């Protein structure tokens, strides 16, 4: 596969390490009332669709960016690649 890195252009997927569902960015608030439940969901429950999926990839053999790759797991078509940091910020994550 070829991943179009937002900063470095097309890169072979062998330069990357795969982590999984990009929902791992949505780490719950540790002080929330239901923190234990929310962390349980966060740590253990993942979508595994046969189709479009947002995934985390780490550019280990490159600039060490974490990327959010939108990929169809059935066809391997990649429709979007973003810096995970931008995605996290857009979702309101900060410090």
Partner 1 sequence: MTQDNRLSGGQIDRTKTLNFKFDNRSYSAHPGDTLASALLANGVRLMGRSFKYHRPRGVLTAGSEEPNALVELRTGNRQEPNTRVTTVEMFEGLEAHSQNRWPSLKFDALAINDRFSTFLTAGFYYKTFMWPAAFWEKLYEPMIRRAAGLGSLSMQEDPDEYDKGFRHCDLLIIGAGPAGLMAALTAGRAGSEVILADEDFALGGRLNSETFSLNDGDATEWVKQSVAELSAMPNVRLMPRTTVIGAFDHGIYGAVERTGDHLASLPSGKPRQILWRIYAKRALLCAGATERPIAFENNDRPGIMLASALRTYANRFATTAAQRVAIFTNNDDGHRTAADLHAKGIRIAAVVDVRDDAPTSHDYEVLRGAQVRDTKGRLGLTFVEVELADGSSRTLDCGALGVSGGWNPNVHLTCHQRGRPAWNDDLAAFVPGADLPPGLSVAGAANGVMSTHGALQSGAEGAAQALGLKGPLPDLPKAEDTPISQTPFWYVQGCSRAWLDQQNDVTVKDVKLSHQEGFRSVEHLKRYTTLGMATDQGKTSNMGGLAIMAELAGKSIPETGTTIFRPPYTPVPIATFAGRMKGKEFHPTRLTPSHYWAKERGAVFVEVGNWLRAQWFPLPSETHWRESVDREVRQTRASVGVCDCTTLGKIDVQGADAADFLNRVYCNGFAKLAVGKTRYGLMLREDGIAMDDGTAARLAEDHFVVTTTTANAVKVYQHMEFVRQCLFPDMDVQLISTTEAWAQYAVAGPNSRKLLQKIVDPEFDISNEGFPFMACGNITVCGGLRARLFRISFSGELAFEIAVPSRYGDALMRRLMQEGEEFDVVPYGTEALGVMRIEKGHAAGNELNGTTTALNLGMGRMVSKNKDSIGSILSEREGLNEPGALMMVGIKPVNAGDKVTAGGHLMDATGPVDAAHDQGYVTSAAFSPSLDSHIGLGFLKNGGTRQGEKMRLVSPVTDLTVEVEIVSAHFVDPEGERLRA
Residues binding partner 1 (CB under 8 A): 1-2, 12, 17, 19, 24-25, 27, 30-31, 35-36, 39-40, 42-44, 56, 58, 60, 64-66, 75-78, 83-89, 93-95
> Is the CB of residue 84 less than 8 Å from the CB of residue 7?
no
Nearer to partner 1, 21 or 49 (CB): 21
Residue 4, strand partner residues? 10
Q: How far is the CB of 68 from partner 1 (least distance, A)?
A: 9
Q: How far is the CB of 48 from partner 1 (least distance, A)?
A: 18
Which uninterrupted H or E stretch holds 82? strand 78-83
Taking Cα atoms as reference points, which of 80, 46, 44, 86 lies closest to residue 66? 86
């Amino acid at each position: 596969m070829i991943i179009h890195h937002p900063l470095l252009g097309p890169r072979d997927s062998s330069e990357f390490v795969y982590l999984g569902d990009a929902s791992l960015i949505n780490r719950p608030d540790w002080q929330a009332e239901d923190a234990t439940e929310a962390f349980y969901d966060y740590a253990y429950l993942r979508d595994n669709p046969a189709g479009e999926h947002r995934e985390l990839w780490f550019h280990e053999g490159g600039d060490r960016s974490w990327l959010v790759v939108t990929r169809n797991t059935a066809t391997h078509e990649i429709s979007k690649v973003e810096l995970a940091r931008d995605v996290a910020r857009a979702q309101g994550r900060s410090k």
